[in-house]
Structure 1
Amino acid sequence: MSAEALRHVAIDLGASGGRVALGTIQDGRLAVEVLHRFPNGGVLVRGGLYWDVLGLWREILHGLRLAAGHGPIHSVGVDSWAVDYALLDEHDLLLDGVHHYRDRRTDGVMEAVTARVGREVIYGATGIQFLPFNTAYQLVAHERQAPGILRRARRLLMVPDLLHFWLSGRQAGEVTNASTTQLYDPRRGEWAAPLLEALGIPAGLLPTVVPPGTVLGEVTPEVAHETGLAGTRVIAPATHDTASAVAAVPASGEGWAYLSSGTWSLVGVETPRPVLSPTALRYNLTNEAGVNGTTRLLKNVMGLWTMQECRRAWGNPDFATLYGDAERVLEGGPLIDPDDPRFLPPGLDMPQRIQAYCAETGQAIPQTPAEITRCVLESLAHRCAEVLDELEEVTGGRVLTLHVVGGGAQIGFLNGLLADISGRTVIAGPVEATLLGNLLVQAEASGSIPGGGLREVVRASEVLTHFVPQPGGHALRREAFRRIRVGQTVSS
């Protein structure tokens, strides 16, 4: 088989589902076929929220069996959401379940830790935004919940690192996911030892950090027997799904930003080095590792999560119908702050939470699913536009174009709002950016793509949609959004 025809398998795990996909590069283009899709979600056990990692492993093995039916597979790699981890004992067995980042065990932990250690100290050591579910606070909460568990554990592995270990037998921490923990020093390129000590986290718990594209070895004999993938390499892609998505942003030149649009909206720019300035801290921006030594300077915004929970509360109507009905709702309705903590936990009362927020801020209360959907999407567009302005201030650069990748790239109404409210051209696509980025890093590590040529392959492989900003009275609406963000009523 020629180098151009190598087959790679991407395992992409998201908060609501996973996929196993096959990718090949032919004539400078990437062809992708999704072989297996499966659901994912939190499992409630005795008041705790967990991930069913064993169920995910079963589905992954099934997907790999399907891949083996297509011929020799050169490599396989896993990406997933960030911050969540597994603890292994001295026998490399799971010491506890894998906790879900939306578990309420971290309530109040971030505030207690920052009061004791100091926000400036933590940010100066890690450059990571303060979110209550960061790995650092999860570990503190874990130790409070089960005293001594961190001393009993031999190794911590992030979710994709755990699956790579099960695939290859090698334990390693891929840097794009390691950098999200708020325990990693992005300037020194190593775990932040003084911070670990301050938090009571044993330094030996954490694995050796490796870059995207690292060959971890071949699949174990057990996996080969179960799947038929004898000789297949395990290559760590950018294991944080956002890092994989950003690697597949079809940008060129300068003056662009990205929005990885899905359950979360990750709004950011790519920089050559971390930015840990006081202004970056004030805006709570995060510095996460990217592909080929880059830094992803970005902000986590609560994305389509609120829509997903509203849809679930409404009996799972078709998303396209919801968005189409919302587009016919008149402008000038209520807005919410998508990042308000009340919207973080799951629950069928999400529509009621949105209505309560609107009432508290002196706005009209949205009643119908169409009105609530319009409120959510327009508010999300306002928040993303606000973050773009903050990124410009922090970096001193201009953002002229916003690349929207991921599932949200399919929502024309949202992307039109993003263009109009931000005043920037929006380029939507690819939808499957995470899969593409995962496969492309594997292909680059295998010699199928020249170094630095990932985005050129994406531009050659994908059809993109452009949204040009239209004039309108968005300045008044942005001011109304700013007022509710700072705790004022719209009418005050």
Structure 2
Amino acid sequence: MSTFYVACDLGADKGRVMLGTLAQGELTLSEAHQFPNRPIRQKDSLLWDMPSLFEESLEGLRAIGAYDEPVESISCHSWGSDYLLFDARGSLLAPTYHPADARFREGMKSVVAKVPREVIYEETGGQPSPGSTLCQLGAEKSRRLSKADCLMPVADAFNYLLGGVSRVETSLACTTRLFNPVTEAWSERLFKALHLPREIFPPVVPGGTELGPLRPELAKRTGLAEARVIASCSHELSAALATLPAAYGETWGFLRLGPSAIVGAELDRPRISEVIRDSNFTMELGFGGSARLSTPAVGLSLVEDCRRFWGQKDREIQLDVLMHLAGSAPPFESLINPEDPRFHETSDLPLKIQAFCKETHQAVPRKPGPVIRCVLESLALLYRKRLDDFEALTGTQITRLYLMGSSVNALLTHFTANALQIPVVLAPTEAASIGNVIVQALTLGHLKSLAQGRQIVRSSFKMQTIMPHALAWNAAYGRLRQFCSN
């Protein structure tokens, strides 16, 4: 017997509606609909087109309804921090601002002027950042908030639009920087200090909470009359981590790789301390009461910035050609500190890399291959440093790394395994949707345990493991640590 579930995958650049099918202990995933998600500009404002995104999601549900399969449930997952406001009638209070909108530039200043950073960390386990819900609300007009009946992060807002029940799932609540991961409740202290209307923040529920049926009019429009709406694991990263097929007792870390990166691992309980705060690690909650300590890191935006520079010089190089050139270049001739402030400004990046290498008395890479090899080797060593920082903070030794993200490339994967000197496992590309579906099945009692869900993932999706082999990376790591300490 087959059971069917829908995962609405809402990404910051595109959305997809995925159909998950469980049959005889195996899971298959197929894409029913894909659509772009691009911010729109209205006069001087940068906005998300949320009505269009929801209509596109419904189009995907209609496509699945046309299959005439008995879909059990639907759940959405998304990026964090951004939010939607609704009035008392359940209507969206437009517009929904993009975090890069100019109005939020002063939001963080407004927040930290009222609440010290140390207090924000004590209350939420994370640092304030300009794009967080906390700092976006620092720039929100009080008149608009006075009209709001509820505020919800993106995926939870879409679950609300589908089923009519306003709840915020724990993993997305953490991304707001208004939620305390220790008490597992909204921070009343921050609400009072920032004069935020407490009543517009819905109750927080754990991952795997059934919210109820589809709204009758949507059940009719989509043909999914029997489907239930579930708050599975609303944050995309938490959904991806929920069902990684780690062996029991294995101490594993993760690296989510894209234009930027996130490095971290799970803990047995939330930990908040000054040492962790000063190391720029964030404490968040995941599925099943899991706690996650992670930190942002530089990602593959450095590679794209170099390609853009060469393209502007009439030297456009395809990514696969560039990776071949990098793989053929001599190893460890030059390294950079990817977090050096000069690399935050994306223009003329190869020239800035050359200047760094000259200043640090290294060989100066002149051609694209050596430049990109320098970038990739430096990134791999940076990720080792981040995991070393985690181990020093927690006393935990990581023995395996799960690598996630659509931007993963083979060369950086091998470099990362060698730099870390531990096996690196390539997680399924659709890890977030897989986790979403497995949690739905658990919620409805179709699976007995999370361990069973992880076993299904292990048997359903082929995952490549890269073993480390080159010990020369240890000497290179010492060089990178020296650059990072200067």
The structure-2 alpha-carbon separation of the partners of 1:56 and 1:366, relative to structure 1 and needing over 3 Å to count, comes to farther
Equivalent residue, structure 2, for 1:298:
294
5 Å matches for 1:185-264? 185-252=180-247, 253-264=249-260
> Aligned partners of 2:382 and 2:26: how far apart in 1?
35
Contact 2:6–2:73 (CA under 8 A) maintained in structure 1: yes
Give how far 1:173 is off. 0.7
Mapping for residues 323-472 of structure 1, pairs under 5 Å? 323-331=323-331, 332-338=333-339, 340=341, 343=344, 350=346, 352-353=348-349, 355-356=351-352, 359=355, 362=359, 370-371=369-370, 373-408=372-407, 410-453=408-451, 454-472=453-471
Which range is displaced more, 302-311 or 176-185?
A: 302-311
Note if 1:60 corresponds to 2:57: yes
CA RMSD of aligned residues (A): 2.6
State how 1:4-43 maps to structure 2 within 5 Å: 5-43=2-40
Is residue 62–residue 222 contact of structure 2 (8 Å, CA) maintained in 1?
yes
> Partner residue of 1:346?
none
Distance 1:385 1:215, change over 3 A: same
Alpha carbons 1:245, 1:406 under 8 Å: kept: no
The answer to whether the 8 Å contact 2:85/2:148 transfers is yes
Letter in 1 for 2:472: G
Deviates more, 1:280-289 or 1:98-107: 98-107
- Which segment is superposed worse, 297-306 or 205-214? 297-306
Of 145, 170, 173, which aligns to 2:168? Answer: 173
Aligned residues: 475
Q: 1:263 to 1:381 in 2, by over 3 A?
A: same
Paired with 2:46 and 2:190, the residues of 1 have a C-alpha distance of: 27
Q: How does 1:465-480 map to 2 (within 5 A)?
A: 465-480=464-479
2 CA distance for matches of 1:311 and 1:40?
Answer: 24
**1:74 matched to which residue of 2?**
72
Contact 1:334 1:365 in 2 (8 A): no
Q: What's the offset of the Cα at 1:310?
A: 5.7
1:369 and 1:55 map into 2 onto residues whose CA distance is 41
| 306-315 or 373-382: bigger deviation | 306-315
Structure 1 contact 24–31 (Cα < 8 Å) conserved: yes
Residues 335, 377 of structure 2: 8 Å contact kept? no
Q: Which whole-Å CA distance do the structure 2 matches of 1:238 and 1:49 have between them?
A: 28
SS across alignment from 2:9: strand
Equivalent-residue separation in structure 2 for 1:396 and 1:372 (angstroms): 36
SS of 1:170 mapped into structure 2: coil
TM-score of the superposition, structure 2-length normalised?
A: 0.90
CA distance in 2, matches of 1:103, 1:310: 26
The equivalent of 1:289 in structure 2 is 285
Residue by residue over 1:19-46, the C-alpha shift from the partner in whole angstroms, topping out at 9 and shown as x without a partner, is 1111111222211112222222322333
Specify whether residues 355 and 172 from structure 1 end up closer, same or farther in structure 2 by C-alpha distance, changes over 3 A only.
Answer: farther
Letter in structure 2 aligned against 1:330 = P
**CA shift for structure 1 position 308:** 5.2
The answer on whether the counterparts of 2:253 and 2:402 sit within 8 Å (CA) in structure 1 is yes
Other-structure match for 2:108 = 110
Q: Is the 8 A contact 1:237 1:442 kept in 2?
A: yes
Which whole-Å deviations, capped at 9, do the CAs of 1:405-430 have from their partners, x for residues lacking one? Answer: 2324x521111111111222211122
* Structure 1 residues 308 and 36, CA gap change in structure 2 (3 angstroms): farther
Deviates more, 1:378-387 or 1:66-75: 378-387
User: 1:303–1:338: 8 Å Cα contact kept in structure 2?
Assistant: no
1:355 touches 1:366 (CA, 8 Å); kept in 2?
no
Aligned-partner SS, 2:389: helix
Give structure 2 stretches of 5+ with no counterpart.
Answer: none
